Amino acid sequence: MAAESSRSFGKKRVRDEESILDKGDADRTLGLENNLTFSDTLIALQMMRAQFPNIEKVAMQPFILRSQLYSSVKDRTQVDRDLESLKKEKVLRLFKLNTGQDDHAIMFLDDYLKQCALLSCGAEVKDKHVTFLISAGLLNRQLIDPNMYWFTIPNIGSILKGLSQGRKELLSFLNRRKFKEMLLAPLEKKQLRFSPLDMRFHLRDLIGSGHLKTVRTPTGLLVRVSKD
């Protein structure tokens, strides 16, 4: 009796440890299939921020693309409205990207501040302030009009290039297949050669922007290139 009870006690402890381990690796092991949709915009933003891939070459704070948010929360109108109110409360910042139509990157304000080593909060803008900000990587000249500037995130260049190349690579990979579709589980495990961002990031983005669509099958989710 004592031996049996000690054995069951031993098993329980092992199981407890396993469950703790699971929660720790939840982001990596659960995969996209179970984690595809969330109920609330802010929760979705925080979860995706936690899942942002770690890039060694560039010190980059996590950002989320707007199309990823659309693929994660069901009601798109609600997403837009939540983003608007979060912007007003100064929790988030929205950046327009030049990679394709209507691309926006969302960054939490604390992350943006961490990304910029110094910030100027001056009232008057003088030329020397502007050149200082440009050299710090925060401001960029707008080519159309010399008096208008873009706000940028420092060190974002290589990541944006990786973003557009990764999208093209994923779409061409699926287009080359016979039926232009693949199950989500094996697709997620593939590595992209040209992009430092991971496959899950690109999948969410392309599903949200409408280039890919997901279909439920008895063996799991299927990802297919959408025709129109």
Partner 1 sequence: MWKAVKDREAGVLLPSSFASRIRSHRVASFDLSNHKEIVSPHNGAINSLQVDLTEARYLLSGASDGSAAVYDIQHATDYERGLIAKHRSLFVVDKQHSHGHRYAISTVIWYPVDTGLFITGSFDHYIKVWDTNTTQVVMDFKMPGKVYRTAMSSIATTHMLIAAGSTDVQVRLCDIASGAFTHTLSGHRDGVMSLEWSTSSEWILVTGGCDGAIRFWDIRRAGCFRILDQSRSQLGRRPPLAESTSKKGSVTGQSSSVKTAVSQRRIPLGNETKQLRTLRKSQILTRGPVVQRLHPGLSSSHNRATAHYGAVTGLRATGDGMYLLSSGSDSRLRLWDIDSGCNTLVNYEAMRLQPTKALQLAVTQDSSLVFVPCMATVKAYDVWSGMTCRTFRGHYELVNCCCFSSQYQELYSGSNDRQILVWSPPNPIIAEMEDGRGGLVSVADQDNWSD
Q: Which is nearer to partner 1, 15 or 96 (CB)?
A: 96
**In whole angstroms, what is the distance from residue 5 CA to residue 1 CA?**
6
Binding interface with partner 1 (CB under 8 A): 70, 75-77, 79-81, 84-85, 87-88, 93-96, 101-102, 142, 145-152, 208-210, 228
Q: Which is nearer to partner 1, 90 or 189 (CB)?
A: 90
- Residues shown for the chain: 228
Token pair in block for residue 135: 């050299």
**In whole angstroms, what is the distance from residue 132 CA to residue 66 CA?**
30
Cα angle 71, 204, 221 (rounded to 5 degrees) comes to 85
Q: How far is the CB of 188 from partner 1 (least distance, A)?
A: 21
**In whole angstroms, what is the distance from residue 143 CA to residue 155 CA?**
20
Q: Which is nearer to partner 1, 18 or 127 (CB)?
A: 127
Pair 93, 83: CB distance under 8 Å: no
Question: In which element (H, E) is residue 160 found?
Answer: helix 157-176
Pair 165, 195: CB distance under 8 Å: yes
Q: Which is nearer to partner 1, 116 or 185 (CB)?
A: 116
Q: Which is nearer to partner 1, 184 or 207 (CB)?
A: 207
Q: Which is nearer to partner 1, 18 or 228 (CB)?
A: 228
Q: How far is the CB of 54 from partner 1 (least distance, A)?
A: 26
Q: How far is the CB of 78 from partner 1 (least distance, A)?
A: 9
Which of 60, 116, 106 lies closest to 84, judged by CA? 106
Q: How far is the CB of 71 from partner 1 (least distance, A)?
A: 9
Q: Amino acid letter at 20?
A: I
Q: How far is the CB of 149 from partner 1 (least distance, A)?
A: 8
**In whole angstroms, what is the distance from residue 226 CA to residue 165 CA?**
19
Question: In which element (H, E) is residue 93 found?
Answer: strand 92-97
Q: How far is the CB of 104 from partner 1 (least distance, A)?
A: 9
